[in-house]
Structures are given as structure tokens and as C-alpha cells.
Amino acid sequence: MALQIGHNRSARGLQYGYLVGQMSKGEKVDYVIVDEAQFLAPEQIDQLARIVDDLDLDVFAFGITTDFRTKLFPGSQRLIELADRIETLQVEAMCWCGARATHNARTVGGEMVVEGEQVVVGDVNRSPEEVGYEVLCRRHHRRRMTSAAAHAAALSPDVLPVNPA
């Protein structure tokens, strides 16, 4: 059996003691899977390391490293500090331009923002007035050029050749 703990469950309640309790009751735990590990507190990452070291269980933690401001999430930072091995998944997201997407962009009302709370729930399938996210390459993240902004610029008369006559 695998114990799966994700952010939709009570990830904040992840405790080393919980696993010890389950195993003391005879429950067999083969490994622990954590999804959205960036949202864990550094203390919870410490507990995951303790699960590996003291209970001899493998822990597989998945998540992203940086937020829309290109700042490390505290959980990701601690995970990088303690991880025995870090692997980039072979499934790579692509920017609208076709380059490898390495950054997350937050949009509000269709405009990219670079300030605000680190964690705000949004959706990629949203109305333009809502908070959303888009993956971009570093170049387009720095330029704040989302796919919508690029499409709007391509349709702008300012980019068409102008005849001075």
C-alpha cells in the first residue's frame, strides 16, 4: 500500500507520528507519495526526511520549484536542501512560442502580474476576469508576454509596415 498525501487532503496534517501510528496498528506502508510538495511547510519537508531516515520508507515528492515571481516556494527550497535525488520529469511544458516552459505566469483579468500573495488559487480554464496561470519560457516571462499578449501584439496595426508616403 502507498500512502498518498496531496494538497487536497490534509497535507498540513502530515505527521511523522501519523505514519508511526498506522504502522504500529499493523498497516503496511510501502512508500509515501506527496503531490504539490511546494505547498508544504519546511517543517513538513523535515518530517518527510525523517520518514526516509527513521522508517526506511521511500518518499516521492512532486511539485514545482518557483512561483509566478520566480521565487522559490519555502517547501520546494527545503526539499531541494534535503533531497537525496532531484529529477526533472521528462514531460516538459512548452511556452506558447515552442520553447521549453520554465516559469509560471499569473494573470489577473488577462494581464500578467508579478506581485501579490505567493499562493492564490487559479485555473487555466477560466474567464478573463479571474486569476489564471500560464507556463512560459524565461524570455517571455521576463517580457511579461503571455500567449494572449503575443496574439494582441500580432494583430496591432503598430507592427504592420508603414508607408511614409
Confidence of residue 11 (pLDDT cuts 50, 70, 90): very low
Tell me what pLDDT residue 121 has: 78
* Residue of higher predicted confidence among 156 and 95: 95
What average pLDDT score do residues 119-146 get?
A: 84
Q: CA 78 to CA 39: how far, in whole Å? A: 11
Q: 36, 87, 117, 134: which one is catalytic?
A: 36
Residue 120 pLDDT: 86
d(CA 63, CA 44): 14
487555466: which residue's cell?
124
Stretch 130-157: mean pLDDT: 86
For the cut 90, the answer to whether the pLDDT of residue 163 exceeds it is no
Give me the pLDDT at residue 74, please.
Answer: 96
Tell if the pTM clears 0.95, that is, is over it: no
Instruction: Measure the CA–CA gap between 135 and 154, rounded to whole angstroms.
Output: 20
Band of pLDDT at residue 12, cut at 50, 70 and 90: very low
Q: Is 36 a catalytic residue?
A: yes
Q: Hey, what's the cell of 129?
A: 476576469
Per-residue model confidence (pLDDT) at position 109: 83
What are the two backbone dihedrals, phi and then psi, of residue 46, each rounded to the nearest 5 degrees?
A: -60, -40
Predicted confidence (pLDDT) at residue 49 exceeds the cutoff of 90? yes
Q: Which residues contact 151 (CB under 8 A, 6 or more apart)?
A: none
What confidence score (pLDDT) does residue 10 get? 47
> What integer pLDDT is reported at residue 56 of this predicted model?
95
- Residues pairing with 4 in the sheet: 33
